[in-house]
Structure 1
Amino acid sequence: MSFYSLLIISLALALDAFGVAISLGLLENITFKNKVLFTISFGFFQFLLAFVGAYFGYLFNTYIVSVPKVIGGVIIATVGILMIKEGMEKKEDKMLLKTKMYFILGVSVSIDAAVIGFTALNNIQGFTMLLMYTLFIGVTTLAVSATAFIISKSLKKIDMISRYADYIGGVTLIFFGLKMMFF
């Protein structure tokens, strides 16, 4: 996988966390500590689930049956469609800032990373390369989430912005899935 492809996948996956971070950053009662913990949670779970997904994808391809690129592309495009659908659903106005929400939101924005890991990252040779690729995904998500919290200060007046992140991420994954299937 080229660096360009990895960067596009990382940014597309990070847009879920971006949307949630913008939404959280728009809350009146969120503290700096909350923002830091959510940012770390998003980056960590994006890394962890991409790594676990890629590892299980590798095991599945090695010991059960190889998943052709067409099937992987269809799965990635489907995740993109689901991201767009999620963006269309009405989101809650108030998010709880309890400790369990760091885990719940961290995992929820990272489920698609497990699917991408299973389908797109399963053929990476060597533990070190897999670790580097998935760490890159996690660090990208961490940086994108931190950026979202920083700019949310300026965007408190525009409530609709978080909705577009799901659409952009979904469309990007659809295009990447189509690229996997046909090129």
Structure 2
Amino acid sequence: MSFNELTLIALALSLDAFGVAISLGICNLKFRKSVPYIASFGFFQFFFALVGAYAGVLFNSYIAEMPEVVGGIIIVLVGILMLKEGFQHEENKFIESTRAYFILGMSVSIDAMVIGFTVLNSIKNNWIIFSDSLYIGLITVIMTSIAFSMCRYLKKIKTVSAYADYIGGVILIMFGLKMIFF
């Protein structure tokens, strides 16, 4: 696989994390509190790609379609929680909980495992598998950092900040539905 192909795959994999980061960022999540999300998204993209690559041959035929559905369901549920919190006009406690770092990190990274199953498992060199997986995680860290940085400007728009929970929840639900059905 060429470097350009790997970069395109890494960018495509990071788009789910990018969208979730935008959703979280417009919900008044401070940049300091976004750092665990950035680390979680990057780590799980790396880790799941690595695990998928090593387990690809054994699990490819059994799990290839299922992870997208599971990840989509989790993201839809988080979106529903955000909408519910918006209607209740409470602080968004879930997105600042430690559980959310792991749940969202894993749910946006499940597709990296599928890429590991299908693309990275054909590489015979362990170092290349590790470095390619690490590169995927690094691209995700960069993309989610950009997303959270963009939110500083998006929150200044009064409409966005007033309806942040609703916008974030709807975006997450749409991403989750996309993962489930497409």
Corresponding residue for 1:51? 50
Letter of the 2:141 partner, please give it.
L
The CA distance in 2 between the partners of 1:2 and 1:8, in whole Å, is 10
Say whether the 8 Å CA contact 1:6–1:133 is kept in structure 2: yes
Structure 1 position 101, deviation (Å): 1.2
Corresponding residue for 2:116? 117
Structure 1 position 92, deviation (Å): 4.0
Unaligned runs of 5+ in 2: 83-91
Corresponding residue for 1:99? 98
Q: Percent identity?
A: 40
Letter of the 1:12 partner, please give it.
A
The CA distance in 1 between the partners of 2:125 and 2:116, in whole Å, is 14
Say whether the 8 Å CA contact 2:75–2:175 is kept in structure 1: yes
1:96 aligned counterpart, secondary structure:
helix
Say whether the 8 Å CA contact 1:45–1:106 is kept in structure 2: yes
Normalised by the size of structure 2, how large is the TM-score? 0.70
Say whether the 8 Å CA contact 1:87–1:163 is kept in structure 2: no
Deviations 1:39-66 (A, max 9, x none): 01100010000100011015x39xxxxx
Say whether the 8 Å CA contact 2:75–2:107 is kept in structure 1: no
Corresponding residue for 1:20? 20
Structure 1 position 83, deviation (Å): 8.4
Unaligned runs of 5+ in 1: 62-66, 175-183
Say whether the 8 Å CA contact 2:24–2:95 is kept in structure 1: no
> Over aligned residues, Cα RMSD in angstroms?
3.1
* 1:163 has 2:162 as partner: no
1:84/1:42 Cα in 2 relative to 1: closer, same or farther (>3 Å)?
closer
Normalised by the size of structure 1, how large is the TM-score? 0.70
Say whether the 8 Å CA contact 2:45–2:140 is kept in structure 1: yes
The CA distance in 1 between the partners of 2:76 and 2:36, in whole Å, is 27
1:83/1:155 Cα in 2 relative to 1: closer, same or farther (>3 Å)?
farther
Structure 1 position 96, deviation (Å): 2.8
Structure 1 stretches of at least 4 aligned residues deviating more than 3 Å after TM superposition? 78-92, 157-167
Corresponding residue for 1:178? none
How many residue pairs get aligned? The number is 156
Corresponding residue for 1:141? 140
Structure 1 position 106, deviation (Å): 0.8
The CA distance in 1 between the partners of 2:72 and 2:42, in whole Å, is 21
Say whether the 8 Å CA contact 2:49–2:115 is kept in structure 1: yes
User: Which one has a larger percent helix, Structure 1 or Structure 2?
Assistant: 2
